[in-house]
Structure formats: C-alpha cells, structure tokens
Amino acid sequence: MSLLSNKAVVYSKPGEVELKDIGYPDLVLRDGPGVNPLNVGRKVNHGVILKVIATNICGSDQHMVRGRTTAPSGLVLGHEITGEVVEVGSDVEFIKKGDIVSVPFNIACGRCDNCRQQDTHICLNVNPDRPGSAYGYVDMGGWVGGQSEYVLVPYADFQLLKFPDKDQAMDKILDLTMLSDIFPTGYHGAVSAGVKMGSTVYVAGAGPVGLAAAHSTQLLGASVVIVGDLNEERLAQARSFGCETVNLREHDDLGEQIEQILGVPEVDCAIDAVGFEASGHGRDAGEAPATVLNSIMDITRAGGRLGIPGLYVTGDPGAVDTDAKEGTLKIRFGLGFAKAHHFVTGQTPVMRYNRDLMKAIFSDRAQISKVVNATVISIDDAPEGYQKFDGGAARKFVIDPHGTVRKHLKLDTADAIG
C-alpha cells in the first residue's frame, strides 16, 4: 500500500493552489508544512486510512488561499471528507475495512473533558497550541488535509459516522458529503440563533454555509427566511428554495429592506455566515470586517439570539487595519448589551448534529445538495474550482478524486467548471 501515489491539493502562495503527490499516508503524523513540532511522530494506531470518495472546497479554505491567514506554503488543504476505509489501525475495534464514512472536520479524541461534554470542536488533546483542531487548516495542529486521494483519520471509533448501507450512501453521496462541515455548521448557526417554529430569520451571506443555514432554519420551522448578500447569482440560489433575499450592493439600509418584507425592521433571530472578510453595504463599500456583526445586532429584536458560524481569526495579514490583523474588530457591543442579545461563536461541534442530519437526508427531509448547488469536479480541476468559487460562483464544488461519484451517479462533468 505504501507504494501508492497520493495526489493532493496544496496551498502554494496567495491566490494559488497546486496538485502534488504527498505520498500514501501511514498511521503516524509525519512532519510537514504546518505540523506542530509537538505533534510530529504522533502514533495513530486508533486511526484509519480512507480512500477519499468526496472532499469539498470550503470558504474557510479560501481564506487561506487568498493569503488572509498565516498558513504556510505547502499546506495540504481540505477538511470536508467522505471516504471508504481501506486500512485500520491496531486499536480500532468497530470501524471496518469497506465502511463508507463521514469525517467531522473537528478532530477530537473522545476522551478529554470537552469531548465528553459533546464540545468536540474544542478537544484538549489534538492541538498543542490551543483547544480544537481540523484537517488541513492553519494553526490546527498540522493534521494533513483531505483534498487528496487518501487521508489519515485519527480516533476512528469515536469520530467516524458510518453510513448504514453502502449502496444507499452512494445514491445520496452529494448530500452526505455535506455532513462533514457545512450542513452541521449551517444547522449549528440556526440552533444557536434559537430558530423555532414560526421564527423570522435573517441569514448574512449566501455562500454554501449561508445557504445551509437558511435550509436549516426551514427544517426547524422558520416562517420567513431572509438572506442577504452582495452577489446576485448566489441570492438567486437562495430564492430557488424559498428564501426572501436582499441585495446589499444595491440597498445599504438592511432594516428598511427587512421592513419591506416583514412589515417591521427586525427579525427574531440572525445568523452570520460571512465572517472576518465582510464587506460594507452599498455599491462603493469596501472591506469592513465588523459589518455583519453590527448589522445583525441592529436588526435582531431585543432578547433575540445571534448564531455566528462565520469564521473569525486571530491572525489576518491582509486585514484592513492593525487591529483587524489580530482579530480586534469595532463591534457595537453596547448595542448588543442594551438589547440583551445572546450569541454563540466558535467552530461547530459536528458530532452533535451529523447523525440526525444524516437521517434527514436518507428520509428526503433535507435536500442540502440542491440547496448549495453541489457540482462534481475531478481533483485535476480543483485549482480552477478554487478560482471559480473565489469569483463568487453559486456552487459547492465537490472534488471526486477517484471518479467514484461520477461513475456511480453517471454524471457528465465535462463542463462542470464552466
């Protein structure tokens, strides 16, 4: 097995990714770009090797590729992973070769106090720098990313979500591949915002996470879901499954636009699915990283809740000012205090939600692949996929490293990038 090649998508420099053979993985975390020195040589007998079936391009990957983080050149990308188990560590008891599984993007040991409380997004044992870890991501311990043909996954018995039927899983693979991150992340945003039957909700951002959040609010019973963005193509995608929309490039007064839809300039709940690369509203507005946080406090009713699955970082070399470079933003915290808002931040604890969302997919209750416009591409097309996604394409690009998805679903992807 060790003689097999392993093509992977690697961050090269700002604005560029490339394909490299990184070598077939084994059950040890080797040194490499971004690997914490304290993690080098870490034995992973509790892990498995996956043959990757589907791995998705995420907006969080784009932050690194744009040069907006301290990610080192050569970092293997990819934290949204679905695959088939091809090798099992000696300490793995319940996961077997041939299983098709979803990998939560949070790496979690299952043994620390936080994991025992379902806070798998802040595991204490996988990242020497701070709580929490993820595959292929800057300052997350250096666990190798999964936009590749094969990938090492630690703590397999605890972490992996096994699909009960392989044929059924492959029939639903474009939905199930969203379980590793964006569907639970969007759902976490909706749950954190307190969405319930009859809620009126504003979702900031019509990228894949924002669309997943909007769909999640519908699953939870929201009466009206309003999605705001600067990109009309992405807003059209939001309207395709029943959302109201606001084009914030054309209209800079969000409260006024909400009032035209609801009759009042406020909503019960709001979700920030944008994060630290936020733009101001209006035609000539530039980057203004606190815009979304301030606007959702402004338009959420007193006593309302704010879900914040959008990514914020402590290191942004491309930020607009010195404060923002270290994650210090000019937030109207006094407004939030005056309105007694509750808000939840941080990575999503995927394992808290993924099994229930899997059931919703298998029962056809959730239609997440249609919501995010899942588009299958080959691993060779990944660099172009990154460019198109960065340009605002209203698609969720699903990398199919071995052609498994295209073969099973009988897809023609000759013009998928176009």
pLDDT in tens, 126-180: 999 999 999 999 999 999 999 999 999 999 999 999 999 999 999 999 999 999 9
What are 258's two structure tokens?
Answer: 């909400």
Looking at residue 417, its pLDDT comes to 55
CATH 3.90.180.10 maps onto the chain at 7-181+349-409
Say how far apart CA 185 and CA 180 lie, in whole Å: 9
If DSSP states are collapsed to H, E and C, what string results for 339-387? CCCEEECCCCCHHHCHHHHHHHHHCCCCCHHHHCCEEEECHHHHHHHHH
Per-residue burial over 184-220, b if 16 or more Cβ lie within 10 Å, else e, is bbbbbbbbbbbbeeebbbbbbbbbbbbbbbbbbbbbb
Looking at residue 314, its pLDDT comes to 87
* Mean predicted confidence (pLDDT) in 327-338: 94
Looking up tokens 């802040």 gives 122
Average pLDDT of the chain is 95
Task: Return the CATH number of the domain spanning residue range 7-181+349-409.
Answer: 3.90.180.10
Quick count: other Cβ atoms within 10 Å of Cβ 53? Answer: 24
Q: Is 101 exposed, middle or buried (0-12, 13-18, 19+ CB in 10 A)?
A: buried
pLDDT band at 92 (very low <50, low <70, confident <90, very high): very high
Looking at residue 1, its pLDDT comes to 45
How would you classify the pairing of strands 300-307 and 16-21?
unpaired
* 3-state class percentages of the chain: helix first, strand second, coil last, to nearest 5: 30, 20, 50
Enclosing H/E stretch for 347 = none
Examine the pLDDT at 415 and tell me if it is beyond 90: no
Provide the 3-class DSSP secondary structure of residue 30. Answer: coil
What are 152's two structure tokens?
Answer: 């090492």
Examine the pLDDT at 381 and tell me if it is beyond 80: yes
Say how far apart CA 240 and CA 154 lie, in whole Å: 39
Looking up tokens 């990109």 gives 231
CATH 3.40.50.720 maps onto the chain at 186-344
Examine the pLDDT at 253 and tell me if it is beyond 50: yes
pLDDT band at 418 (very low <50, low <70, confident <90, very high): low
Say how far apart CA 216 and CA 192 lie, in whole Å: 11
What are 57's two structure tokens?
Answer: 């391009």
Q: Which residues pair with 272 in a beta bridge?
A: 204
Provide the 3-class DSSP secondary structure of residue 103. Answer: strand
Looking at residue 104, its pLDDT comes to 98
Looking up tokens 């996961």 gives 95
Alpha-carbon separation of residue 147 from 55, 100, 389 (angstroms):
6, 17, 15
Say how far apart CA 186 and CA 214 lie, in whole Å: 7
Looking at residue 315, its pLDDT comes to 85
Determine phi and psi for 26, rounding to 5 degrees.
Answer: -125, -175
Say how far apart CA 373 and CA 382 lie, in whole Å: 17
Secondary structure (DSSP) of 240-280: TTT-EEEETTT---HHHHHHHHHSSS-EEEEEE-S-TT-B-
Domain 186-344: homologous superfamily in CATH:
NAD(P)-binding Rossmann-like Domain (3.40.50.720)
